A and B are shown apart, each in its own frame.
Chain A
Amino acid sequence: MPLSAPENPDARFRVADPLLFLEQFCRQRLEQPQPAAAGRQPASGKAATELLLERLHTLRSSGEPSA
């Protein structure tokens, strides 16, 4: 049997921290701004992303969320 989860590195999940994933997602979005949608200012998307980061930090400062 090739799979014994704790011992087999291939069987480990590579997506561990969703908040870290979200932070990386937001920072990547800030570094590579998305094209503005029709009738929407690009700056608002930046503000929305920054707001998400702010809420993310708020959530982290208040403690890790439960699963």
Chain B
Amino acid sequence: MIIQRLQSENLFCFNRLDLHDLPMEGVILLTGPGDSGKSAILEILCCALYGRTAHLARNTLTRAIRWGAERAWVTLDFQTVDQSHYTLHRTLDTQGSHQVTLTRAGADQPMAIGAESVDQAMIQLLGGDFAWAIDSWYLARSRHAKPFASVAPVSGETALAQIAAMLHAETTRLDGQIAELTRAQQACQEEIVSLGVRDDLLNRLEADHDRAQDQLARAHAICARWTGLEEALRQAAQRIDKAATRITTLTASAPLTAWRQATSALKQALGEMEGAFATEHLANQGAPTTHVSSWLGRLHTRLAALEAVLQQMDAERNRLLVWLGEEPAADSSTSTLATQRILLEQSRHQAQQKRIRQGRRAQLFALLIPIFWFASGILWNQVLQARFAPLLTGLLNQHLPGMVLTSTLVMMTVTALPLLLLLCALTGRWRSGARLRSLERQAAGLDQQVITAWQIIDTVPQTGGLSLSDQVNTLETLDALPQALEMRSWMRDTGLPLLDETLWSQECHQLQEALLACQEQVQAVYGLLQVQQQQAASEPVRLGQITWRTAQEVAHEQGRRRTRSRLRATIMALSQEKAAVQQQVVVRQEARAVLDQACQELHGVFLQEMGRIMGLLVSGPGRPQVAVDGTITLVRATDSAVLSMAELSSGLRHKLALAVRMALCLAWEARFPGQRYVMLMDAPFTLLDRRAAQEMLALLQGFGRGGTQIWLTAKELDSALPAPARHVDCLTFRALPT
């Protein structure tokens, strides 16, 4: 910072002050007699910059207002290290009002208004506050006896302090996180306590719930079984009713197929009912079907026998068809009607041809008898009797007595032979006629058999639909055949008398009565089933309520346990997070410790370096060596004795105080090379002798050559000082050559 212009009114002893066109570097020497206001100018500068002075705090700044004035102001134009120009304006009044604005050159509006805001802005612009200024570049008169000053801003510890501030901010933020996590943990813990979870309660509730669910499942199964049983029983009862109705409407003359179908349906219905009752305790109520079943069993036996008869009849029909030649014979040796008829017709034809031949033969013999007789008479009389009669007679007489007998016999033989032949022919014809008639009778019988067979064939195919009486009659007609006779005997053996209609009607009537009784008892069982089903249906409702309540309790308890587990997990996670944050805090605390150690070391190095510089400033023959270690220590070179500050002369102490500022200036210059800065030295040569004052002035001039603007107050020095540059009141301003 370089001061460019200072204006004030009614501050300290000055009515009006305007210092302008100030040199940017070098020593600005303010000289004048005592109480001429040299120090006041530096006070006004300090007041303008910080709103206080080395002697007046901010709350007592009104004392800086000149006596008799009500209001005072000061305006300071200065240039910062970045070559920016600012104007700082403060206004004070005796009422304690303190108005201040900071304006950047060229800006229409102030960049800061108000004491606090301007203080912060000045710290940013200059690098430190009033305490830093008073310890480093502003040597006030009151600090002459306190040569040691805070070196932290210049030594660079403030820069490290920024890192410390960062760590502190991070640590503070992390501490806040830890506190927040701790509060969250406590809240979770309190919530866990408020949940009041009982571990044993859930186990008991779950056991109760499982037991109730098992009972409910069993009750539902029973209900479902009862429902199925009811449906099966209802359907079986319907089928029994239907079958019973069919049976009761049947008569004894009903077709056998109708009986068979009706009884089969009834048997199936009874079987279904028995099956439905088999697994339930209602089976004891299934007894009424037993009576019906017995009757039904008998009926089935008889129907089976009748069916067997019908099968035999069908077999007989097939045999008749084979016999008639209508069906191919499985066995070629079987005598069929066709072959019999053929053989019979051949026999009849042969008999008829034989009879005709024999008739023709008889007619021939009847015609040949007279002729034979005539021819034989002539032959006998004319030839035989003349020629052979004597020979023959002689032969006959020789061997037989009497010739007469012999002739008679020959004559009789010749005469009777044709008659005999005729008689034979007639006999054969009669016999042929008799055979023919026999064959015709056989053919007629065979035809009758054919007619009967066809009648049987025509009726047998209808046996499946015949009434029982018709079947009996049909079986009677089977007497025409040997097979029928065999079947009839088989029917007697198998008890077919049951086909008696009266007996059959009685049995049917009893069966119908048994069916009616069975229906009534089935209805009774059905009613009992309904009652038991209703009783069973009420159980799931009761168990369902229990299950629902226990499930609610279990869910509620499980929810609380889940909440507790979640809270515990949350607490664990918070603990882990807290541990991590704490670890971060530890790391930052250790980093802060390391940083403090670094600051301490930097401080020590800086002080050591400062002591070296101060040694150069104040060193000289016979002078002690300077060591800066928290305090300024001087070691006597002759015997290495440490001298306390009290043992130092006031001039040496004053010189050390000045040396401290100068060393700080050197440190500043080292840190920010090329940057311009200001030093305010209020009467630094007061306690120095002329030679020492000139030495120090020479040193300050050397600093001014480095670009430092040094404000220096002093009483009139020797004539070596340059001529006054200007006069303010009784003050003399000089810009010393650098």
Contact = CB atoms under 8 A, between A and B. Distances in A.
A7 B602 CA distance: 25
Contacts of A65: 158-159, 162
Central interface residue in B160, B703, B706, by most chain A CB within 10 Å = B160
Interface residue SS majority, chain B: helix
B590 A10 contact: no
Given A4-B702, A44-B586, A16 B662 contact: no
B699 A51 contact: no
Interface in B586-637: 586-591, 593-595, 598, 601-602, 605-606, 609-610, 613, 616-617, 619
A25 B601 contact: yes
Contact of B156 (A1, A4, A18, A52): A18
Given A6-B706, A56-B163, A1 B695 contact: yes
A33 to B, nearest CB: 12
Given A5-B669, A13-B613, A67-B128, A19 B703 contact: no
Nearest to A20: B156
Contacts of B270: none
Which interface class (under 10, 10 to 19, 20 to 34, 35 or more) fits B?
35 or more
Nearest to B597: A25
A1 B698 contact: yes
Contact of A21 (B124, B127, B602, B703): B602
A18 B166 contact: no
B670 interface: yes
A66 interface: yes
A47 B601 CA distance: 20
Given A15-B606, A15-B609, A52 B670 contact: no
Contacts of A48: 587-591, 593-594
A13 to B, nearest CB: 4
B476 to A, nearest CB: 125
Contacts of A5: 662, 665-666, 669, 699, 702-703, 706
A15 B155 contact: yes
B590 A55 contact: no
B124 to A, nearest CB: 7
B671 interface: yes
B275 to A, nearest CB: 84
A17 interface: yes
Given A3-B699, A15-B605, A67-B153, A51 B160 contact: no
A31 to B, nearest CB: 14
A22 to B, nearest CB: 5
Interface range on chain A: under 10, 10 to 19, 20 to 34, or 35 or more? 35 or more
Interface in A34-67: 40, 44-45, 47-49, 51-52, 55-56, 58-59, 65-67
Contacts of B430: none
A11 B364 CA distance: 201
Nearest to A23: B598
A14 B583 CA distance: 37
B594 A29 contact: yes
Scoring A11, A15, A17, A19 by chain B CB atoms within 10 A of each residue's CB, the highest score goes to: A15
Interface in B155-186: 155-160, 162-163, 166-167
A10 B614 CA distance: 11
A51 B666 CA distance: 32
B705 interface: yes
Interface string B138-165: 0000000000000001111111101100
Contact of B598 (A1, A22, A40, A55): A22
A8 interface: yes
A22 B616 contact: no
Contact of B166 (A7, A21, A55, A67): A55
A45 B666 contact: no
B2 to A, nearest CB: 15
A51 B594 CA distance: 10
B656 interface: no
B594 A19 contact: no
B668 interface: yes
B667 interface: yes
Nearest to B671: A16
Interface of B: 124, 127-128, 153-160, 162-163, 166-167, 583, 586-591, 593-595, 598, 601-602, 605-606, 609-610, 613, 616-617, 619, 662-663, 665-672, 695, 698-699, 702-703, 705-706
Given A14-B609, A66-B127, 19 more contacts: A6-B703, A10-B616, A13-B609, A13-B666, A14-B670, A17-B156, A18-B160, A22-B163, A25-B601, A26-B598, A44-B583, A44-B590, A48-B587, A48-B588, A48-B591, A48-B593, A52-B595, A65-B158, A65-B159
Question: When A and B form their complex, which 3 residue pairs have the shortest distance between CB atoms, in order from nearest?
Answer: A18-B156, A48-B590, A67-B127
28 contacts: A2-B616, A3-B617, A4-B698, A5-B665, A6-B702, A10-B616, A11-B616, A13-B609, A13-B671, A14-B670, A15-B155, A15-B609, A16-B670, A18-B155, A18-B159, A19-B160, A21-B156, A22-B160, A22-B163, A44-B587, A48-B590, A48-B591, A48-B593, A51-B588, A52-B163, A59-B166, A67-B127, A67-B158
